[in-house]
Structure 1
């Protein structure tokens, strides 16, 4: 049975957490999402696809761009669900950044209106990225598609940093794909950069096929990472997410001691965190909600 670590999901409760960016959405995701939602999605998939059932090991929580990061830090510290394997928490990247001690990774949203253009090339950002490299802490990068060249330049300045590019760089059509190809190849040439094959529209088979071909050409399967984002399953059934992934990448058998290295969008070693000692497991994600006008 294929083993899956879902490397990027979000949970939240708008009745408890301030999430002002939800005001700009259509309202369909302005509701509570918890770990039980996540579990039900994978259980439902297995019931509907018994011949292609998956072993859902757990997932990686990624910050949700809340207006109150201290509250988010506390809520995650109190969440002891065994399927919550790791967290990538919010901080402003720099030499004096603060992070909760339980965090396994860092994310500063670079794709939101609050993030100035060129932020990833600012001196304090580069110094913070170097600090994370020194501490062996990965950075989750959600970047505007037209700033992928800038981000590649930033990563080239700190090639030892472990960086995970969220959602295929937010590429959402063939025009973006063509203009972003060089930047993705530059990122793929760096040995510690991974990409989450996620967050792209799935209704155009030609676009999906071309995008995944680019991902494999730039990064190789070992550095492509699967994720469902959890709540995006309300838009794209998990069966589509998994089946599309399986049809485009070669699958290899996992072992009991590590996550499969050669199953990019299904599960993969990504230098994310120590999931359990003594084995260091490397993890990371995939979403499908760009068509609703937001991508986190």
Structure 2
């Protein structure tokens, strides 16, 4: 079984600045920690997704991940970007275009004000992403999904990858929640746009690390019905989705029962998605490999000098 993990993070607070890390997240999760991850597959590659450094470190994060890429199987980078900053956005995308591993960007919208994704400045920046042939990773709350559907309608050529199924409320294994009518409606509306893909990722984190396959199956079924299997791709969301109650055999479990790193979480999520796909008769190789390569155009990456045609080039005739 070959695996392309479409949503992997690494971070190191000693190298880069993050304002959101706290509790069990506030430590290094990088090359050494990933090397100890027990994911079992014949071949494992990954797409790194920006880990929400401060914006001044977006380019530094790309350079750092590039230094790890060959050893850790990183075949693409989804870089951090702020798409609503006009000429600053243009300059940043131009610089990203000099890094051949960059296959997309993510402006993390989940903490932004409603409506930003449809502002004229944001739409202009998103159009530039589309012009470069890059993807736009969409990290939003469930109630922001209608804005993303409108953005897809405004820029139909923009290939978007929805992270974490749009972050629906899923409850926990002991207190599961069913998909809401509103979330299903908004997912179906977004899926009408053929350039939008959906990652099977992040649900363990939405459950606080207390999840079961039975609990999450209705959400997987809903996105399969909406997008079709050909637009779904598996992602681990490591290590964000590897934090929760200590596993039974963890010799380092906190005495107070607080959340901690779950060493087998990435493998368990992979196993859950594979078991679901097998039961439904879905194409496992497409979910774990082929669809991600298509979504991020990994088979037709171009050298850096052929993609440096951003705002600046058009504005100044270069």
Alignment partner of 1:15: what SS? Answer: coil
Residues 1:191 and 2:194 are matched in the alignment: yes
Assess, with a 3 A threshold, how the Cα gap between structure 1 residues 45 and 87 changes in structure 2: closer, same or farther: closer
Deviation at 1:175, TM superposition (A): 6.3
Which has a greater percent of helix?
2
TM-score by length of 2: 0.73
Query: For 2:43 and 2:130, how far apart are their aligned partners in 1?
Result: 30
Query: For 1:139 and 1:209, how far apart are their aligned partners in 2?
Result: 26
Query: For 2:178 and 2:45, how far apart are their aligned partners in 1?
Result: 35
**Residue-by-residue CA offset, 1:11-68 (whole Å, 9 max, x unaligned):** 111122211111xx3x212111123433432xx343xxxxxxx223310111111123
Query: How many residue pairs align between the two structures?
Result: 255
8 Å Cα contact 1:13-1:32 kept in structure 2: yes
Residues 1:65 and 2:49 are matched in the alignment: no
Query: For 1:184 and 1:251, how far apart are their aligned partners in 2?
Result: 20
Alignment partner of 2:109: what SS? Answer: coil
Deviation at 1:265, TM superposition (A): 5.1
Greater mean alpha carbon deviation, residues 228-237 or residues 194-203: 228-237
Deviation at 1:205, TM superposition (A): 4.6
TM-score by length of 1: 0.78
Partner of residue 81, structure 1:
70
Question: Structure 2: where are the runs of 5+ without partners?
Answer: 171-176, 243-260, 303-318
Partner of residue 276, structure 2:
248
Partner of residue 281, structure 1:
none
Deviation at 1:81, TM superposition (A): 2.5
8 Å Cα contact 1:19-1:65 kept in structure 2: yes
Partner of residue 228, structure 1:
236
Query: For 1:132 and 1:91, how far apart are their aligned partners in 2?
Result: 10
Selected match of 1:129 from 122, 126, 151 = 126
Alignment partner of 1:20: what SS? Answer: coil
Partner of residue 42, structure 2:
55
Residues 1:239 and 2:236 are matched in the alignment: no
Partner of residue 25, structure 2:
29
The alignment's C-alpha RMSD in Å is 2.4
Selected match of 2:135 from 125, 130, 138 = 138
Deviation at 1:206, TM superposition (A): 4.7
Greater mean alpha carbon deviation, residues 213-222 or residues 242-251: 242-251
